[in-house]
A and B are shown apart, each in its own frame.
Chain A
């Protein structure tokens, strides 16, 4: 019955490597479909694949180091952090609660703009988007298990609509627009990389999940493979995006909501591509609520509060007020984040997680084998998946 122990784990933060891999593959890429393509097209001067590829490689490196830390002990990273000292633990949770709240700013603004662009032909009231915060507040009350399970359902919610949209947009895509590949000036590539840093702080979004996970042999490969799948999906979309829009790409914001609209059959049946866009939006809602959920969870841990409710109210209310008041200054905020605040993402999103490498560990430890002994019921050899 050991195999079921993890399946039936009642801990609100129980996370499985498969779910982390799915989160990396099917939840993280969805945000990159919004504003990132036009941003990269603008700053990389058309050669948008190179900076994206370099960003992905750097994130894979950070992810690898995090997995290396997780691999070194039978305890999860956060359990080890706790052993390291109360002060360190509180400081870590407090800093990252603030970071996640900060990191949620751009996705929130992007989501708001995207919602107004993709869901309405009319001019909705500013409060229409406020409903999202009811959802996010609800989501914030849940543990990490909810985020992990979200990743499972997003396999279907992301993959099917994404592939459908790609297939529908291929009609108009001219891939020769991408040529010549990797031939822009280095300055443009660097500029595109720094400007897009807020979009690529992925490893840190996986950190709370990996931090709660008990590492088993093969988990690292799964997670890295999952992230690579997400990277391939993003690169594929970027290629199709530039193939379709080419020179006007920098002006095509939230293109994934309209990239498939030229598909010939839509003239007869209506914009059914929007159904796929809306399905992807559900994944986007989960994605956008995730940093808020992390901020809530970390703030609760840092303050040592027994209930999440004060943190939920504080986080969601501040996020709501931010979108309410800053919505008009979207372009300025975006430029400010890209130009002056990218270092925050680089420092806390990319470099700080590497600090886990200095966590003490027992050198003799070897990761446990993947599957526990089979119970008397004799399930077949091939089957080793368990759910959480």
Chain B
């Protein structure tokens, strides 16, 4: 169907045209007459507009004041009469359709071959609350929601500068999802912005339900197990990253914002690190790093120690383990595989199950499966302890959970077959892979490799804010000074 048409001066014909283009049942029309007897028609998507506002600021002025105040019958007089602040004139039916589907209202007036779009959008949105994935004890608690306008407002609220730019692109042949590139003019790197924009523009998919689609489709390394974009649900983190020189992406319908370029060290950082003393922040970062290593490597090392290198365990512990595994029917690698599988299954089920069922599931998982499996002699206690500890440790770095889980399986696989040699070799392989896998011109292992000494100040260690007076060199910001001397 040709959506790109022009209107005529006959309201009846225009009504037919629009109804033909928008046959869906939730697209409603409301007819009324102006004070001088001219017919008008409003088109809107049911449930997406503020009807009260529409009545007060659009319909009522036209009904009451149109003739006596303006006395004219042209397009300008309609615009002057309608009190709506967000009013624009459209002449193309394709734009009209797009605006109505986006939640705005189309006003057609008899005798005029144009339409007027009133921005009376009122979408059902949830409240701005603290995101469950990014809880902070100290610091702001607001989180992004699914509405892109609210999210843009939350960013604008924190960066009251004309340099903050939002560039909205439409992605999705059917969904026409708004994807907004956010950046600070003069601070973000122009090459990164241009590359990102081009990648987003190239996406040709029918529907974009979430920002993860954009992350996957605009990614320079789509088959990597490592993330290509930073993700956050908090506007304070998002704005901090923008002001460091990154480019952000907000996607309508998603509370998760993306940032690029992304460095692996970002996963070790928490927003709270910037609100507490640098010493505590450094300790916490090392704690997260150690937890991450334990989460990914401990099950693999345990299996290696049992199968290939018993010296890794102190003698007393080795004897304890030996006594608990001596009658097990499964090999150490298989046993670890079963327990890890159990953990992943319980995790997956507890997220998806209703809350109350989830509670009983925990009991079943922890007591019935764990306890009885040990007493029945299927599994050993040390393996369950190790997997449980590994699972807890992984959640100290919530943004790394997906990648960490995959890596844990990989390390388990190589430790079962090649022992500690396999573990060391896989680490070397991953390092070799990450060393050259630049994303948006930035190496993910930086600032460690390539070594950027100054950027180490906010990596595994965290310096005080006075020492972070320059933006990270790796982000190639044209304006590097963040904190001016004497401020």
Contact = CB atoms under 8 A, between A and B. Distances in A.
B242 to A, nearest CB: 17
A294 interface: no
A386 B428 CA distance: 24
Nearest to B471: A377
B451 A18 contact: yes
Contacts of A22: 451
Interface string B393-431: 000000000000000000000100011111111011101
A177 B314 CA distance: 31
Interface string B302-313: 000001111111
Contacts of A55: none
Interface in B424-455: 424-425, 427-429, 431-433, 435-436, 441, 443, 445-454
Interface in A367-388: 375-380, 383, 385-388
Interface in B273-302: none
A361 interface: no
A64 interface: no
A169 interface: no
Interface stretch (B51-59, B121-129, B222-230, B474-482): B474-482
**Which secondary structure dominates chain B's binding surface?**
helix
B448 A156 contact: yes
Contacts of B429: 134-135, 138
A286 B443 contact: no
Q: Which of A7, A12, A268 has the most CB of B within 10 A?
A: A7
Contacts of B21: none
Given A152-B448, A153-B449, A269-B314, A145 B454 contact: no
A308 to B, nearest CB: 14
B94 interface: no
Contacts of B435: 142, 146, 149-150, 153
Interface string A280-307: 0110011000000000000000000000
Contacts of A376: 478-479
A268 B309 CA distance: 17
Contacts of A134: 429
A8 B431 CA distance: 20
Given A7-B476, A149-B435, A377-B479, A387 B308 contact: no
Contacts of A120: 308-309, 419, 421
A318 B366 CA distance: 52
Given A119-B308, A120-B309, A270-B313, A4 B476 contact: yes
A155 interface: yes
A260 to B, nearest CB: 12
A281 B424 contact: yes
A124 interface: yes
A185 interface: no
Nearest to B448: A153
Q: Which of A115, A128, A282, A380 has the most CB of B within 10 A?
A: A282
B473 interface: yes
B416 to A, nearest CB: 12
Nearest to A145: B436
Given A155-B451, A375-B478, A383-B454, A278 B423 contact: yes
Contacts of A378: 480-481
A132 B425 CA distance: 7
Contacts of A152: 448-451
A270 B314 contact: yes
Contact of A270 (B312, B424, B431): B312
A131 B312 contact: no
Interface residues of B, number: 49
A267 interface: yes
A153 B308 contact: no
Q: Which of A1, A119, A128 has the most CB of B within 10 A?
A: A119
A149 B435 CA distance: 6
A19 interface: yes
A139 interface: yes
Nearest to B469: A380
Contacts of A268: 314
B421 A115 contact: yes
Contacts of B317: 270
A156 B369 CA distance: 42
Contacts of B451: 18, 22, 152, 155, 385, 387
A146 B432 contact: yes
Interface in A150-184: 150, 152-153, 155-156
Nearest to A120: B308
Contacts of A1: 476, 478
Given A267-B314, A377-B479, A149 B424 contact: no
Contacts of B420: 119, 274, 278
Given A152-B450, A385-B454, A8 B441 contact: yes
B432 A121 contact: no
B470 interface: yes
Q: Which of B422, B423, B432, B473 has the most CB of A within 10 A?
A: B432
B421 A128 contact: yes
Contact of B432 (A124, A142, A379, A388): A142
A268 B454 CA distance: 39
Contact of B428 (A119, A156, A286): A286
A131 B418 contact: yes
Contacts of A128: 418-419, 421
A138 B315 CA distance: 38
A271 interface: yes
Given A119-B309, A387-B443, 11 more contacts: A7-B450, A8-B476, A16-B450, A138-B429, A145-B436, A146-B436, A285-B428, A286-B432, A375-B478, A387-B450, A387-B451
Q: What 5 pairs between A and B have smallest CB-CB spacing? A: A387-B450, A270-B314, A152-B449, A377-B480, A119-B421
Interface of B: 191, 307-315, 317, 414, 418-425, 427-429, 431-433, 435-436, 441, 443, 445-454, 470, 473-474, 476-481
10 contacts: A131-B422, A135-B429, A135-B432, A145-B436, A149-B443, A153-B448, A270-B311, A270-B315, A281-B424, A385-B454
Interface of A: 1, 4, 7-8, 12, 16, 18-19, 22, 115, 119-122, 124, 128-129, 131-132, 134-135, 138-139, 142-143, 145-146, 148-150, 152-153, 155-156, 267-271, 274, 278, 281-282, 285-286, 375-380, 383, 385-388
